[in-house]
Amino acid sequence: MLNSGDVAPQFALPDAQMNTVQLADFLGKKIVILYFFNGDKTPGGILEAIEFSDRVAAFAKYGAVILGVSRDDCMAHESFIDEHGLEFELLSDAESEVIALYHAQHRWEAKGMVRYGIDRSTFVIDQTGIIRHAFYHVTPKGHAAEILELVKQIEIH
């Protein structure tokens, strides 16, 4: 697991328009709220995305951007963004490479088969690329508001 004070693993993933978004794009400029969720059409995924989207302007006021990551493909993300009027980027990690880097994957057995899923997780990464806050096993309701309060306490460089 990653913890506060750790260097955030670098990543490059496609957004809904298939443009590559990298953590390096924001270093020295923005605080990054990187959150991992199970899927676009899941009840928790919808709730969390809407709560983050409703606070995009407030996060921007404190120099923060929001990036959501799931295994859904770019076209699914585009549809989800349009359907719910989301105002931030969703990134596709179809191969679960970044999900694994952030330890946001969990493993379980069901009916004799090993399965993998996403452990809903959120990371607040400062402008220097250091993880300021790391949350695993996130409950979607109210989480965006909690993260916004933490971001307000980070000094912008």
Distance CA 71, CA 92 (A): 6
What pLDDT is recorded for position 140? 95
Has residue 71 got a pLDDT over 80? yes
What pLDDT is recorded for position 108? 78
Query: Averaged over 54-69, what is the pLDDT?
Result: 97
Query: Averaged over 43-49, what is the pLDDT?
Result: 95
What pLDDT is recorded for position 157? 55
In the structure encoding, which two tokens stand for residue 108, read together?
């379980």
What pLDDT is recorded for position 155? 73
Entry pTM: 0.94
Distance CA 68, CA 142 (A): 16
What pLDDT is recorded for position 24? 97
Q: Between residues 156 and 141, which one has the greater pLDDT? A: 141
3-state secondary structure of 49: helix
Has residue 68 got a pLDDT over 70? yes
Task: Identify the CA nearest to 65 among candidates 32, 92, 89, 19.
Answer: 32
What pLDDT is recorded for position 116? 80
Has residue 148 got a pLDDT over 60? yes
Query: Averaged over 72-101, what is the pLDDT?
Result: 96
Residue 38 has a CB neighbour count (10 Å cut-off) of 18
The domains located in the chain, with CATH, are: 12-151 (3.40.30.10)
What pLDDT is recorded for position 19? 98
